[in-house]
């Protein structure tokens, strides 16, 4: 499986976050820090998440996307946009309830240029564990199916 990466760009308050390849836990701290900076930007207007080149995405990364949706809804009282043309990814998004917390566009690919790759941030094991717990709690808050799917994992991580 291809190693994943996150490309970003922003101009005039419009942010683009593009996931490429296999997006997993190792990229979550990087995305979390970028998300915080994005929402602290006084000029921030919108964000588009581009998953058109995403081959695989794990639940921790989905939790980070849920965080973006929650913060966006708090700030703008509307939903951010995900562009995804991959059937497998769309199925995962729908099964996790993302169609309720994002506008999901399936029929177009943004024409993006000048994207920069986010440098992967290293974190220690405890920080990573806390991030996994936080991301999965965000997913659990989306719907009862997610709560059932992830409650044992979260409890196990919190107990250790």
pTM value > 0.85: no
In this prediction, residue 119 has a pLDDT band, given cuts at 50, 70 and 90, of confident
d(CA 105, CA 102): 9
What total of structural domains would you count in the chain?
1
- The pair phi, psi for residue 22, each rounded to 5°, is -95, 100
- Which one, of 68, 73, 105, 72, lies nearest residue 89 by Cα? 105
Q: What is the sign of the dihedral through the CA atoms of 38, 127, 60 and 56?
A: positive
pLDDT for position 116? 77
pLDDT digits (tens, 9 = 90+) for 6-50: 999 999 999 999 999 999 888 888 899 999 999 999 999 999 999
Half-sphere exposure of residue 106, counting CA atoms within 13 Å on the CB side?
A: 9
Question: Is 135's pLDDT higher than 90?
Answer: no
CATH number at residue 153: 3.30.750.24
Conformational region of residue 139, where left means phi above 0, alpha means psi within -120 to 50, and beta covers everything else: alpha
pLDDT for position 29? 86
Q: Which domain covers residue 40, as residue numbers?
A: 5-159
Residue pointed to by tokens 């009282």: 77
């Amino acid at each position: 499986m291809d190693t994943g990466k996150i490309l970003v760009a922003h101009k005039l308050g419009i942010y683009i976050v593009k996931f490429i390849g296999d997006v997993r836990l190792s990229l979550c701290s990087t995305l979390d820090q970028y998300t915080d900076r994005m929402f602290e930007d006084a000029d921030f207007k919108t964000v588009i998440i581009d998953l058109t080149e995403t081959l695989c995405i794990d639940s921790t990364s989905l939790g980070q996307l849920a965080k973006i949706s929650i913060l966006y809804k708090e700030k703008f009282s509307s939903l951010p946009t995900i562009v995804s043309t991959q059937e497998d990814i769309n199925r995962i998004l729908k099964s996790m309830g993302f169609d309720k917390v994002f506008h999901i566009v399936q029929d177009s690919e943004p024409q993006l240029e000048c994207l920069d790759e986010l440098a992967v941030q290293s974190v220690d094991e405890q920080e990573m564990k806390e991030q996994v717990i936080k991301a999965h709690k965000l997913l659990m808050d989306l719907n009862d199916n997610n709560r059932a799917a992830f409650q044992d994992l979260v409890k196990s991580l919190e107990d250790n």
